Structure 1
Amino acid sequence: MPTMCQHSSLSNFAICNKVSILDIAEYAEMVEISKGLIRKRSMEEANECQEASVMNHAVMVATEAFEAADLGFNGELDLQTFVQALTDPVVATKVSQATSVPADWFLSLDAEQIVDLFRDIDADSNGTISFTEWISALLRVRKVNYQEDRAARQEEAKAIAKLAEEALEEGDLDMSGELDFREFLAAFRRNPRFLRKLAVATDTCVEDLQSLPIEDLEDFFLALDADGSGTISFEEFANGLLEVRMRRNAYSREEAEAENQAVIDIAYLDALDAFSQADLGVTGELDLDGFHKALSDPGIVEKVSLATHLPKEFFATLKRRDIQDMFVGMDFDSSGTVSFNEWVAALVRTRQDVYLQEKLQQERAVEAVVEDAMAAMDEAQEDWCAELHLDGFIKAFQTNDACLRKVSSATGLSVDEFKSLQASDLRELFSALDMDVSGTVSFSEFVQGLAAIRLAHETEVEAR
């Protein structure tokens, strides 16, 4: 006959060993703390391994960059060789890969900036950069960028976790805290609030998510269900959305680089056109008088404006001193003249700066409005459709104060300004927001439109 101590229940264990329930609870708590510490240590070790791998790769690429830069095989770089290296697209690309700094940044440096960079890397100030100084400098930059990227990922994870929690609540019909495939499919097909939160979390269009075929949704569900349990937990959902967001960010960076290159190509042609119109004299270059004359010619100014995307009015306000400063900045080799290459490089660099500034302003505006835009659409939609139709749009702006407050918060315009709009004004606004002329305003169109209104309002306020 088995003794009481042979029973496996927790209560029998406690009786046989004279252990109190309190002792058992404390022991269980200690076990959970230990597990937490082990998980934390494992994560730290994984992060350390990942950082070591990144830095090892950076060393390898930095070595290749130095070998490509060391044209005389001297084992060191003097200033002239350093300048040649950083203006060589091959070397700049390798330095970019080693440091995670865009190659365009290195290629856009002017003479003074390159000299300053040379001095920073030349740690012993002996007038040359050794292999060790080169590697140390590039790794220092890579480490800083790696840590910044990691911090940015952690911030991204926090934002996505909030959206993932809200989306999970929208789709979790049985309130189990998890999504099974039936709930997952229903959320994609019938819940625009779920889709909007998912779209913002993953930087994807609602329309793209809504149009996914069932086969893709099955694959997506299986990918999110990391433990193969048949349900998606909050942790799996948040981690999965973060991975999608990271891949989307990488794709967006590739698109941005391609778009930036297209901007450069167009600016190059426009700069070439403008230079060919200038009076070059016998040298084929512009001296200060020729430069001043060129920027006083309305035809050339129009072409320069086209190349740089600076308004023509900007050039009209320039004083002779301003033009002289501009000339000195473009005279890269301090020869007293501006050559074709210097002219084109300066105009292209200006165009890049303007383009990047415009893009940054647009991105910040979208970030500022997206949460209010979601809330406004939630308030405006009564039929659970993923888009706004004209009648619903007009009704929301005329009768829905909660919706208007969110639109006001997003754009910076007052609620009264929107309330004062007549039906004809609202139809015009709807048409402007309906960018694809589909007869409806999607969430993406709504966000982009509110961001444009916000930017226009901010510009108007600054101009006052």
Structure 2
Amino acid sequence: MPEEPSTRLFREAFALGREIRVDETSQYRHMELAWPEYLVAMGAIMRLQQDFDPEFFAESLSNFFETLIPLSDSLLAGNPATAGRKVGNSKDQALLVLIAQVFQEADEDETGTIDQTEFRTFFQQPKVQDQLREHGISISNLNMMFNSMDADGQGLLTFDELCDGFLKMASIMRSNERAISYIRKVFTESDDDGSGSLDKDEFNRIFDEPSVKKKMESFGIHATDLSDLFSLIDEDGSGSVTEDEVVAGLVMLRDPKTAGERGVALLSKIFHEADLDGSGALDKYEYVTAFSEEQVTQQLMARNLKVPDWEGLFEVLDADGSGTLQWDELREGLVSFWARHQMDTINK
């Protein structure tokens, strides 16, 4: 059985931090860490993360230590909704209590899980969204958020998955506080009519400005990220985005689990451009011709996405043998393809 990624990560960090001396290997000392070794090991845990960004190393390490501070066993004890979960600060503790309340309401059939419909129904409520904003969390694309939290791809979220997802989101928000403050400032300055939203042309004009692009790059947000951002957050296809949606989109960009959704947002435009007759479907020739273009390959590789065997994928997804693929069929297949590839990479 493959070793759990988290277990392997801590083993590697321990080994990097531990300075083994020859005369100590016969004792249990080699199984312990001195304080300096412990600090090195903690830094190694951050450095070995798949989404490690040296630009935010100090902030990430600080946030990690906050969640690592030992707490008393009585923290959250007596609250069955939180199931004795422990967190490293009062803000995250309060967030867990909120998530527990929403989960209990959403899990009406008491199965211990919530599906995507239940997730959307409860987390799109204005009251819940306002409460999450108090914790610094902005929600935009609920479908993408659900998929990023659904670690096993079963279409159901357990309480643990929900808590882990929101705690991670809160951590990302804290570690990107400077970038978020800058985005809010730019958005406010650019919203000339005070509508509270920007259309696609306004959005592109702002983030194409050299000074803005340079500042965003200093936060570790590059051109490919910005080109994906609008498509990621305009979930309802309204052609405009709000300030909170832009901030939420930034959080999604920082989560490697959303890479597949970014790829889908990119390929959606290509699909519809290739659908010359407007039928809503592509036959095999149209499909292979459109997606085998070198430009498509380069764009996927720039996002660290495995390029599929397009012909082979068509045969798999054309389950009814109609000889055509609709966008929904392709979208679902691509998300699953990239999710499986990501898991295979982690488990190696």
TM over 0.5: no
Higher relative contact order (CA 8 A, sep 6+): 2
Q: Please tell me whether Structure 1 or Structure 2 has the larger radius of gyration of its CA atoms.
A: 1
